[in-house]
Structure 1
Amino acid sequence: MIATTSHAETNTAKSAERPNILFLYTDDQSWQTIGAWNNPDIQTPNIDRLYSQGTTFSHAFNMGAWNGAVCVAARAQLVTGRTVWNCGGKTAGNGQYPLWGQQFRKAGYDTFMTGKWHNGNKTRSISYSHLGKAGGGMYGSTGLNGEAYWRDGSPDEKWSPSDPKWGGQWRKVKDENGKSTPIHSSDLWADEAIQFLKNTAEKSDRPFFMFVAFHAPHDPRQSPQKYVDMYPLDKIKVPANHLPEHPFCIGDHRIRDEVLAPFPRTEQAVKLHLQEYYAIISHCDAAIGRILEQLEKSGKADNTIIVFTGDHGLAVGQHGLIGKQNLYDHSMRVPLIFSGPGIPKGKIIPKQVYYQSLAPTTLEMSGIPIPQTFEFKSLHPMIQGTEGYQGEDRIIGMYRDYQRAIRTERYKLIYYPYAGNKITLKGKEFKVQKPYQARIQLFDLQKDPLEMNNLADNPEWTSIKDTLLSQLKSGMKKLNDQQNLDSPVDIPNYGKVWRTKK
């Protein structure tokens, strides 16, 4: 059942005057996972349809995060329209700033949310007039030393992505007779969205804004067996930038995400995790397809702009990493697709943007004023090919106090303030002695898009390195970043999370 909340709405809008917005949001989905666009090894027919019928930003990025749960910061930036250090922390300001859904609600839209919400109950309740079922940050399966972790495909492993007994993405929902039945979270959120379309959108003369946030493909990467069977292990390709382990500590070297697979990362382990990653994405794609089918049946499709993106990417074996606590493209870069009335078909925009620009973009598309508190810029001029904002010459990325990055269309520099030190392991903590020493990576993205060849120590690249470093410091200052790369904050236990299998 979808709950309805009361809230003052003004500027009553009718659906014939303003477009509906259907926002489809996945978790941990890298830009490299769209079948028709960039990965023929994965099957995503419904996202493919959005891609072919719409406009794609090929270089959309998450700005960064202040903690290991990157999705918290990414989503706070999205719903406030504000940059990472100004978005109000994990509760997205707890109502301090105007919110994305709230602006549509005030403009007379029926606003609906279901799925993953990671920024506090208050921001959700004031943003959406119709509240579907929702869940928190992730659905865990076992403890860190349980069967869901340290998996490499060994014959004695018991955990199965398709067996509901392992919980996780497999939720238990009671039917009308009170009997608990397992249902995958992607199907649960799709069902909630479909019910809203049937029971509210089809019957209302008001436009709607739908925020449908899947937990997939976040781990535990579970899906029905038929989706796992779509990806035989012997057909899975190991990424070209696969490493057995990252060559140095990047700060959260053994955080929870990273112990899903053992060390070193064998090709067998990477294939296993890619198999389950692809399978849960294909299953989520099917759930998206059901929502799109109901949208067509509702008669609202011709006036609905559909936006698809992910909150951030994921490594899954690239650079010796499994998680997203890094600033390589596979973990910063996301798919971003617009489809619907007035959206050019088959258009790809290569300019760099932050995907958190969605709030001002959809507000402008709907003729709703953009709050002055929003810091991200509307992408509407880029979609329509008109004058105005044309993307970012330099993307600034950040992860905790451990990593900073600057990315131009040609180059990427990643700066690790503490990783140049000799680090000793004492018990379960790294010990870093002052003075801190940095480690730098520099990549020529034109020649090295997979970020495999570090040029930072090559004297021929010193000028470019110094220029990028100067631009990075300037960009950090503009974004209210308090980390000082010349005198970094004191972190005596850099990389303190060091998990080992018991």
Structure 2
Amino acid sequence: LRYRLMRQHFAQEGWHENPLKTEEDWRDLIRKYWGLVTQVDLSVGGILEELEKQGLADDTIVVYTSDHGDMMGAHRLLTKTVMYEESSRIPWLIRVPGKKHHLIEQPVSQIDMVPTLLDLMGAKELSEGLPGQSLAPLMAGEDVAEDHVFIEWNATGSERRVPDSFRDATEAERIAAFDASIRTVVSPDGWKLCLSTAGDKSQLFNLGEDPFETANLFDSGNHQSTIDRLSKRIHEWQKKVGDTVEV
């Protein structure tokens, strides 16, 4: 319900004075987004050039990342607040002086950033007690056991700003759907489970076979053991970190 209402809102209202009535409207907005990406790339290039100019490049670890992705038209959605890959996956590049290029393909989390940076700076002991793990061994090409990655979205009192265009639902449904908290887990074997506080439709995707998340398998009746296994992992993680949201 929530995603359907969001699609309806973007179709009716557009986005920041950009209409979204036609395919070309969407393409135009995406072109503008890529233009902004180009601006950011040029700015990052300027920073890297200045590090070289100041003689600091060989003594500086550079991290390029973001706090969230953007749907940018995928599933006819925009911005963040949803659990699809386009929103929850982020760029994360680390340039370490003297280290060769290495691609980490397994799922990792931003909670791994601080332990990783401390390890790279020779201060691994300072990360004791912190959540996450150092990715430095992975960056060196070593094998490290894959772990589950957790993603969360918390309600922010948005019932006060539910768009008027969310007309295709009762007032109670609109508020519940727009003010839901979501907990998601991605497993090492490529399954992704999303649970919501709103009682809205849950989602289960096999990312290995369906990387664009086009087939929600939650209600298919064929994957109950996977749902049970991943629900347990979410609830165990919530207990571990003191998360009291009920999903």
TM-score normalised by length of structure 2: 0.77
Match of 1:366 among 121, 127, 141: 121
Once the two structures are TM-superposed, the CA of residue 377 in structure 1 deviates from its matched residue by 2.1
**Unpaired runs of 5+ in structure 1?**
1-244, 419-436, 486-502
Higher RCO (CA-CA < 8 Å; seq separation 6+): 1
Once the two structures are TM-superposed, the CA of residue 269 in structure 1 deviates from its matched residue by 2.6
1:441 counterpart = 2:183:
no
For residues 192 and 85 of structure 2, the distance between their equivalents in structure 1, rounded to whole angstroms, comes to 9
- Answer whether contact 1:261 1:322 (CA < 8 A) is retained: no
- Answer whether contact 1:397 1:405 (CA < 8 A) is retained: yes
For residues 128 and 58 of structure 2, the distance between their equivalents in structure 1, rounded to whole angstroms, comes to 31
1:335 counterpart = 2:97:
no
| Corresponding residue number in structure 2 for 1:399 | 153
Q: 1:324 to 1:286 in 2, by over 3 A?
A: same
Q: Letter of the 2:3 partner, please give it.
A: H
Higher share of residues assigned helix: 2
1:269 counterpart = 2:48:
no
Higher share of residues assigned strand: 1
Larger Rg: 1
- Answer whether contact 1:351 1:391 (CA < 8 A) is retained: no
**Unpaired runs of 5+ in structure 2?**
156-179
| Corresponding residue number in structure 1 for 2:216 | 454
Deviations 1:39-79 (A, max 9, x none): xxxxxxxxxxxxxxxxxxxxxxxxxxxxxxxxxxxxxxxxx
Runs of 4+ that moved beyond 6 A: 261-264
Once the two structures are TM-superposed, the CA of residue 329 in structure 1 deviates from its matched residue by 1.1
| Corresponding residue number in structure 1 for 2:109 | 354
Deviations 1:385-438 (A, max 9, x none): 457xx36521111111521111114111111232xxxxxxxxxxxxxxxxxx34
| Corresponding residue number in structure 2 for 1:295 | 51
For residues 290 and 268 of structure 1, the distance between their equivalents in structure 2, rounded to whole angstroms, comes to 33
- Answer whether contact 1:417 1:439 (CA < 8 A) is retained: no
Aligned residue pairs: how many? 216
For residues 377 and 322 of structure 1, the distance between their equivalents in structure 2, rounded to whole angstroms, comes to 32
Deviations 1:148-168 (A, max 9, x none): xxxxxxxxxxxxxxxxxxxxx
Deviations 1:281-328 (A, max 9, x none): 111111111121122222222233222111211111112211111111
- Answer whether contact 2:149 2:187 (CA < 8 A) is retained: yes
Match of 1:318 among 64, 74, 92: 74
Once the two structures are TM-superposed, the CA of residue 371 in structure 1 deviates from its matched residue by 4.8
For residues 111 and 25 of structure 2, the distance between their equivalents in structure 1, rounded to whole angstroms, comes to 33
Q: 1:440 to 1:359 in 2, by over 3 A?
A: same
| Corresponding residue number in structure 1 for 2:176 | none
Once the two structures are TM-superposed, the CA of residue 280 in structure 1 deviates from its matched residue by 0.9
Deviations 1:223-247 (A, max 9, x none): xxxxxxxxxxxxxxxxxxxxxx933
For residues 442 and 330 of structure 1, the distance between their equivalents in structure 2, rounded to whole angstroms, comes to 16
| Corresponding residue number in structure 2 for 1:246 | 3
Q: 1:471 to 1:373 in 2, by over 3 A?
A: closer
Structure 2 counterparts to residues 116-195 of structure 1, below 5 A: none
Partner of 2:107, secondary structure, is: strand
